[in-house]
Amino acid sequence: MTNTPTAHNSAKLGDFAKTVLMPGDPLRAKYIAETYLENARQVNGVRNMFGYTGTYKGKEISVMGGGMGMPSIGIYSYELFHFYDVDQVIRIGSAGALQDNMKLMDVVIGMGACTDSNYAYQYGLPGTFAPIADYELLSRAVETAKRQGTNVVVGNVLSSDVFYNAMGNVNDLWRGMGVLAVEMEAAALYMNAAKAGKKALCMLTISDHLYTNEHLSAEDRQLGFHKMMEIALELA
């Protein structure tokens, strides 16, 4: 645990809590710290990937941006797990809905994360690895949502490397397998956690629907995900 600070993180060992919430957008991290945390202090600002540590209901908790895509969250979550002694990372992000019964602002918990990425290639496995959430975090998130009166949908999500896909039918294929929504980070986070022997969970708010063409504004995406944030904060 001596590899701190890193090229991507100016924090020192001990600056991060054992639990880190990780939105993709660093401005959402800043918003969460300013809105929910007491005595929040900034611990990272490298490349404007803001990280903060404070307390929530008396428990120490950190929040830091993870960026867009698996290479980005792969770097940040790896360093948190291996260099900063973090025990659990909870991704709180946005996703595009694939199923007809889903609507904007629905909260989705990724029990599993399908992927079109070759992120698992590095492990040299003799087959296909199935990235999954930590069950304890998942079950606690579901119970917390029930107490708060928030309906959540639990199931498979897709972590894609490609936002603008040249294959015109790719969404139809994943939709046909019952995948709930598409995002770009969960699979790498789940694999990093599995390899490190740590815990991870991905919670998502539906920001757009890929079949109805509905979508939230940029401001709503940055500031409007309160139900998801409040569930995640209770998991520290």
CA distance 63 to 71: 19
Cα dihedral 6, 10, 13, 14, rounded to 10, equals -150
Residue count of the chain, please give it. Answer: 236
In what helix (H) or strand (E) does residue 205 lie, and over which residues does it extend? strand 199-209
The answer to whether the beta carbons of residues 54 and 123 sit under 8 Å apart is no
Question: What DSSP state is assigned to residue 12?
Answer: P
- Return d(Cα 62, Cα 181) in angstroms, integer: 27
Catalytic residue annotation = 208
**Cα gap 209→16, rounded to integer Å:** 35
